[in-house]
Structure 1
Amino acid sequence: MATNRLQADIDNWTLTTPAARSTRGAVASQHRLAAQAGAAQIDAGGNAIDAIVATAYALNAVEPWMCGLGGSGFMVIWLAREQRAVALDFQGTLPGRIQLDDYPLDPGRPLTPMGFPGVVDNANIEGYRSITVPGAVAGLDHALSRFGSRPRRAVMAPAIQLAERGLFVDWFTSLQIGVCARTLARDPVSASIYLPGGHPALPESRIRIPGLAETLTEIADQGADTFYRGALAKRMIDDLQAGGSRLSQEDLAAYAVFEYEPMAAEHRGYTLYTPGEVSGGRRQRDMLAHTRASMPTPPAAPTPESWLAYAEALEQCWREHKIRNGVLSSTEGDLDGENGACTSSMSSVDADGNMVALTYTLLNRFGSGVTLPATGMLMNDSVSYFDPRPGYPTTMAGNKRINSSNMCPTVAVKNGEARFSVGASGGNLIMPAVTQVAALMTDFDMDLEAAIHHPRLDASFRDSVRVDPRFAPETVRRLGERFALEISQQTVFPKLYACVSAVSRDPVTGECVGLNDPTQPIGGGAAPAPFTLDSLGDDGPVVRP
């Protein structure tokens, strides 16, 4: 098979990341401050659910381009005392009055990241018409009220502090803004926040997002009710409809979180829990089943044949998924786009063995690019989860819920103890990355730190398989005998192998470990400690719209 080495040896460094360790618990997130906000809840006597909710809210202020109040997602929770797993689906829903006529096809535009045809003016991925009902606030509030232990105001306090301080702009933040500058420039509010003077905000400055701290405070005081049925809902709908959205107050008021028993996949003595059919969970289950069939007894350590088995299993489960979703017939080639830089994933564990994996998203980086003027909320572009053509399983229809996602938060349990939880951001890259980390830990008894740092491949039934050049030459050669390869090193940008966050807990020693992907310079794990704002950036100029 042909091998393309054009993406090898781009960056001249070795990427590693430290792990947080504690017998009291741990949190991992794509931003260290958010992980610290979560770990502070455990330090104050809270549990893993309190920690994950605090982390998720804090990300609004420190990683707004990936997730937030305007997003949606999934959560998997292991309740140690009850010996059961719970899944929460807080995915978005389309406006009740949505019309396909609002999204005429434009053959001149590329496919969307979900593999659907482009439409005129990018209306399904940019601007007000691309926004669905966001489920994040409902999902986080549901988790906290049902399974948390601390008051909402205390759990959200770090997020509010961070929003009041403002977003410190480092080089990584400037990069995120610069990549999406064209989309942000379409929205006057977003442009005033992120593109001061018409250019991406410069490192060493701080961005104040008008209204965000006040919105978080209102939610902390009144819960999800104000967001979906109260004063906050009214302000949101006024802004949305003024911008051309078909969302209504009835759409918000009708929103509901789905709580259900998660999908369970048995593998090498572990039970892996995922949100199931509407997430990447089915593909994960299928991939592991294919692996067991081709590798009934794993060797002591991964071999070239092990990686060939993983690649073939990923290719097969992705092919079946694309056929099910109507973006690939049984004879067509790959139609799916690639979106390797979206979403945020986080994990938490406490000393009692409760464990959570949460993934939520605005979909694309900065979502729709729209910041609602009255609330400071950056909104999703999740209409692009749906097909603008009639007659497909994912065709747009009023009040339809997102029913196909790459997100794959996973909690792995063995002998009644949650051993690890893992999730990732990165669109199509998510499920392959999450499943490889899980497979390395279950097939070869790797610890979490080794599995996160191990070279990965990416296979999703496209024209080639992407391979990290850190693999042994014999592994690369064996894969090249079967597939066309892209030899592509791990880089900070673009992230070619997803961005993984995970925690683990040793049932014997009680040691909890948390870490984020080595390609994420702002990410990390955190051990329980009081939350205090760092001083980084406090002396920089504040950018006020």
Structure 2
Amino acid sequence: MMQTFSIRRPAVHSPHGLVAAQNRHAAEAGAAVLSRGGNAMDAAVVAALVLSTVEPWLSGIGGGGFLVHADGRTGATETLDFNVRSAAGLDPADYPLADAQAGNWFSWPSVVGDRNVSGYGAICVPGAIAGLAAALERHGSISWEEALQPAIEHAERGLEIDWFAALCIAIEAPGLARDPVLSAILLDDGHGPKAGADTRRFKPMTLKAGLLRRLAKAGARDFYEGESAALIAADLEAGGSPLRAGDLAAYEVVWAPALTGRYRDFDIAAIPGLSGGPTFFDAAQRLVDGPLSRETPPAQTALLYATAIREAYEKRLTTLGHAATPQAGCTSHVSVVDRTGTMVSLTNTLLSRFGAKVALPRTGIIMNNGMMWFDPRPGQPNAIAAGKKPLANMCPLVLSKAGRPVLSIGAAGGRTIFPTLLQLISGMADFGLSLEEVFHRPRLDASTPRIKIDARAEANVAATVAGAFPIEIVEDTLYPVNFSIPSAVMAAEGGFVGMAHPTSPWAAVVAAAA
């Protein structure tokens, strides 16, 4: 069925700072921190922790992520890698291919029993708690205990069930029902919860609230080496995971200089190494080298986008990974700017919806399925291996001009992330569109075998792209999610402006109070 309505979301302006996130509760919690005098990193960490509770199908403390920090006064940028890592004792032979089909760079073969996708065998060491605590310690101004309080309050109050939450849970209900702990947390007698006429509260997340309270008192390292770690490790081993207490204790985050590049008038800071950053720059350079200009018609622009993205993806999936070079090694995004102009771009993920579809019995943590990010084919640059970080799709960015940050941007959506960011940034840099205009501009996605074209695009876009690639015309629907879900904050005359994804019902930009 074709959508016959259009959706507009206005930009939000503020001179005091903004938080853009995929959930209004997270954005509100982060903005409240700014209003109390907190800085961009304080707000980003608080928002990310709240997201792990109010939207548990996308990100959480059982996952990992990346962030970019840009100082509004000095322009200095720095990145933090807190992505997931495979178990030191993992045996790649435990992930045999399901059939003899070798797959290719674009379509990986499946593993027997989908062991790398769901269940305890799919779990990697989560880095979220270590990363958020390290970020706060280095660039924040509030305590770890204070940062956890909004997430604790939401966990104790319980997951808010409206029509959208009911939809997100119902989509995955059969898989959730296979894990008794996850089923008890999210389902009603094994079935997806139904939304009433009015928004209501679902059952409190008692186990998670207890864990967060313990971490607030004992500190973040308790997750990796203390009482919390002992509970987590015991549950993982009992469930059949190769992860052990030593894997948790050995986990460390990585601070590093940003991977930098330039697109038109913007200097761009991205995550180095095993992220979407290198591929973003690869595709962006292909656009710079091509005939794209402000005079390029929409159909030809779409073809240039599709070609740059497809060629960059081929290079990405055939050459990048932990074994390729000696580089160090479903999702939520938060973009924040404070009153000083300091910006944070933070992406956190469980990978798939509800990650491995496993919640640990004694802590209630919904765990990631990080093994899915490894190429299951042996001998590949990103092949399954022990004690390694996989090649991640997350791509938080901060763009600067004249040595000062002007745009914090990122997105959720797996392989669709960097293609979306490339088109948004190109819309502003190449065509002079405003942040609000570019967020409503029809996009394409070239991260699947068939190029997906937004049905709202100009009539000749599909025909032009189809001359070079197989295409599929799709709607920008809530499910399936055909295009990624971006959020951004930007310096503007008189302060700042922010945008959240127009068709996402929970996404929001919230301004800090004076």
Same fold (TM over 0.5): yes
CA shift in 2, pair 1:238/1:36, >3 Å:
same
Q: Which residue of 1 aligns with 2:415?
A: 428
Pick aligned residue for 1:504 from 460, 465, 490: 490
Instruction: Give the drift of 1:113.
Output: 12
Q: Are residues 391 and 304 of structure 1, via their aligned partners in 2, closer, same or farther at CA, if it must alter by over 3 Å?
A: closer
1:169 maps to 161
Corresponding residue for 1:344?
332
Corresponding residue of 1:70: 62
Cα separation, partners in 2 of 1:102 and 1:484, compared to 1, 3 Å:
closer
Compared with structure 1, are the counterparts of its residues 303 and 396 closer, same or farther at alpha carbon in structure 2 (3 Å cutoff)? Answer: closer
- The aligned counterpart of 1:223 is 219
Q: Could you tell me which runs of 5 or more consecutive residues in structure 2 were left unpaired when the two chains were aligned.
A: 322-329
| TM-score of the superposed pair, with normalisation by structure 1 | 0.88
Q: What is the deviation of 1:441?
A: 1.5
The aligned residue for residue 481 of structure 2 is: 495
Could you tell me how far 1:301 is from its partner in structure 2? 7.7
Match of 1:371 in 2: 359
Partner of 1:285: 281
Post-superposition Cα deviations, 1:23-77, rounded to whole Å, max 9, x if no partner, equal 1000111101111111111001011110100000001221001110100111111
Instruction: Give, in whole Å, the separation in 2 of the partners of 1:315 and 1:49.
Output: 34
Distance between the aligned counterparts of 1:302 and 1:372, measured in 2? 53
Q: Distance in 2 between matches of 1:114 and 1:360?
A: 24
1:109 Cα deviation (Å)? 10
1:387 matches 2:379: no
With over 3 angstroms needed to count, the CA separation of the structure-2 counterparts of 1:105 and 1:306, relative to structure 1, is: closer
Please show how residues 44-443 of structure 1 align to structure 2 within 5 Å.
44-107=36-99, 115-204=107-196, 205=200, 206-295=202-291, 298-299=293-294, 303-325=298-320, 342-402=330-390, 404-443=391-430
Which 5+ residue runs of structure 1 have no aligned equivalent?
1-8, 327-341, 531-545
Describe the shift of the 1:302–1:514 C-alpha distance in structure 2 as closer, same or farther (beyond 3 A): farther
* Alignment match, 1:34: 26
SS, match of residue 475 in structure 2: coil
Indicate which of 528, 533, 536 corresponds to 2:512.
Answer: 528
Contact kept, 8 Å, 1:126 with 1:369, in 2: the verdict is yes
Cα drift, residue 427 of structure 1:
1.2
Moved more, 208-217 or 365-374: 208-217
Give 1:119 shift: 2.1
User: Per-residue CA shift, 1:294-340, capped at 9, x if unaligned?
Assistant: 136x22686433232222211211121122259xxxxxxxxxxxxxx
Q: Residue 176 of structure 2 contacts residue 183 of structure 2 at CA under 8 Å; is this kept in 1?
A: yes
Q: Structure 1: which amino acid aligns with 2:273?
A: E
Kept in 2, the 8 Å contact 1:36–1:529? The answer is no
The 2-side partners of 1:112 and 1:148 are apart by 44
Contact 2:78 2:257 in 1 (8 A): yes
Per-residue deviation, residues 66-124 of structure 1 (Å, max 9, x unmatched): 11010011111111233211111111111111112322322299989994332222211
**Take 1:352 and 1:367, find their aligned partners in 2: how far apart are those partners?**
36
Shift of the 46–143 alpha-carbon distance from structure 1 to 2, 3 Å rule, reads same
TM-score, normalisation: structure 2: 0.93
Query: What is the CA RMSD across the aligned residues, in angstroms?
Result: 2.2
Quote how far apart the aligned CAs of 1:388 are.
Answer: 3.7
Q: Could you give the per-residue CA deviations for residues 174-208 of structure 1, whole angstroms, max 9, x where no partner exists?
A: 11112211221111101112222121112144132
Code of the residue aligned with 2:169 in structure 1: it is I
**Corresponding letter in the other structure for 1:382:** G
Q: Which residue of 1 aligns with 2:444?
A: 457
Q: How many residues align?
A: 502
Distance 1:101 1:40 in 2: 49
What's the secondary structure of 2:262's corresponding residue? strand
Larger mean CA deviation between 190-199 and 140-149 belongs to 190-199
Matched-pair identity in %: 39
Contact persistence 1:163–1:208 (CA under 8 A): yes
Output the CA distance in 2 between the equivalents of 1:216 and 1:318.
39
Matched, 1:475 2:461: yes
Q: Give, in angstroms, the shift of residue 443 of structure 1.
A: 1.7
Q: Deviations along 1:441-481, whole A, 9 cap, x unmatched?
A: 22223221111111111113x54321112222243443333
